[in-house]
């Protein structure tokens, strides 16, 4: 694996293995600077959402980078209040305008509300109209995906879910793999909970890497796409610097075994936003 290694999605589109997440970066300057640093460091995927309220800043940073549009994989998400078929189409238009783009690489249902099927049908329509390159969902458990499958002509190709060593999501990852759905891990660092765990600390020492780099490498080894967020320039660079070592199968298994089913965010079966 190298920094340019991608995952080939179900329709053949290539998606970078590590992207830059921009949640909690609402201030224009913070988002603009973060995305600018990330692109300079070599990231070629950016993960935003309408609810992050920074799509304008993300779009401006992409333009200012001078990097060709088609070299950057851009994801955004339809917020819960905008779900439903017509609303999703409108929300997409707004996001596209804010980002100042004429297409998106990946568009996701942010959370599985009761309207998840209509919302996905709108995303599918955008895919058919070639306004997005990849249709996807986020925070969908297996039963949510099955609800989507029941109405979909084209299955979602990405499911973005909370995943880190404290929530390794083995069953859902296996279900996604069986259905040719790539998994993107949000909160890939799990707010640092496992950074001080002896298993992770020992591996960090062994490979002269930081605990964050060990965790990000674990994501790559188990087949995930990871979208770490940082506003700290050195961390932005460090989080991409995970291609000069590899974990053994046993080491990967040991990290996966740290799973405690601990969520840093809401459970998609029980949220009130
Ligand atoms: P992360 O696991 O990326 O952790 C981010 C936190 O870790 C920040 O506090 C950051 O601090 C810190 N950090 C980053 N790099 C390092 C490092 N190398 N060493 C130590 N600490 C580090 O969690 P997020 O919740 O931000 O998730 C990442 C992305 O996932 C989001 O930005 C968003 O794009 C997406 N997401 C999607 C959700 C969904 O519902 N689909 C929900 C939540 C997130 P600092 O910035 O100060 O450097």
Residue 123 half-sphere exposure toward CB, CA atoms < 13 A? 34
pLDDT value of position 180: 98
pLDDT digits (tens, 9 = 90+) for 150-182: 999 999 999 999 999 999 999 999 999 999 999
Give residue ranges with CB within 6 A of ligand 1: 21-23, 47, 110, 138-139, 160, 186-192, 210, 212, 227-232, 235, 238-239, 265
Tokens for 269?
Answer: 């079966």
Q: Could you give the percent of the chain with pLDDT greater than 70?
A: 100
pLDDT of residue 191: 83
- Residue in 76, 79, 84, 85 with CA at minimum distance from that of residue 56: 76
Query: Please, what are the domains in the chain?
Result: 13-256 (3.20.20.100)
Q: What is the DSSP letter of 246?
A: -
Centroid of ligand 1 to alpha carbon of 259 (angstroms) = 19
How far, in Å, is the centroid of ligand 1 from the Cα of 241?
A: 16
CA separation (Å) from 229 to 25, 43, 203, 258?
Answer: 9, 12, 22, 22
d(Cα 215, Cα 10) in Å, to the nearest integer?
26
**Strands in the chain per DSSP E:** 6-8, 14-16, 20-21, 45-47, 73-78, 104-109, 132-138, 158-162, 182-186, 225-226
Stretches where the chain sits below pLDDT 50 are: none
């Amino acid at each position: 694996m190298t920094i340019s290694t991608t995952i080939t999605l179900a329709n053949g589109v290539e998606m970078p293995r590590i992207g830059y997440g921009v949640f909690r970066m609402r201030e224009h300057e913070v988002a603009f600077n973060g995305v600018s640093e990330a692109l300079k460091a070599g990231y070629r995927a950016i993960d935003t959402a309408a609810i992050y309220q920074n799509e304008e800043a993300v779009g401006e940073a992409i333009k200012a980078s001078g990097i060709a549009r088609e070299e950057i994989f851009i994801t955004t998400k339809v917020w819960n209040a905008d779900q439903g078929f017509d609303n999703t189409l409108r929300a997409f238009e707004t996001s596209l305008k804010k980002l100042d783009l004429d297409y998106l690489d990946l568009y996701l249902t942010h959370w599985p509300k009761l309207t998840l099927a209509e919302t996905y049908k709108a995303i599918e329509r955008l895919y058919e109209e070639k306004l997005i390159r990849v249709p996807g969902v986020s925070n969908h458990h297996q039963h949510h995906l099955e609800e989507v499958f029941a109405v979909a002509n084209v299955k979602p190709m990405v499911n973005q879910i909370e995943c880190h060593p404290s929530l390794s999501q083995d069953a859902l990852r296996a279900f996604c793999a069986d259905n040719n759905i790539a998994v993107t891990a949000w909160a890939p660092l799990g707010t640092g909970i496992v950074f001080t765990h002896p298993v992770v600390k020992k591996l960090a020492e062994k490979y002269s890497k930081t605990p964050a780099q060990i965790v990000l490498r674990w994501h790559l080894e188990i087949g995930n796409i990871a979208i770490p967020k940082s506003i700290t320039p050195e961390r932005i660079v460090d989080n991409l610097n995970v291609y000069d070592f590899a974990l053994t199968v046993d080491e990967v298994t040991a990290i996966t075994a740290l799973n405690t089913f601990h969520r840093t965010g809401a459970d998609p079966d029980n949220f009130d936003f």
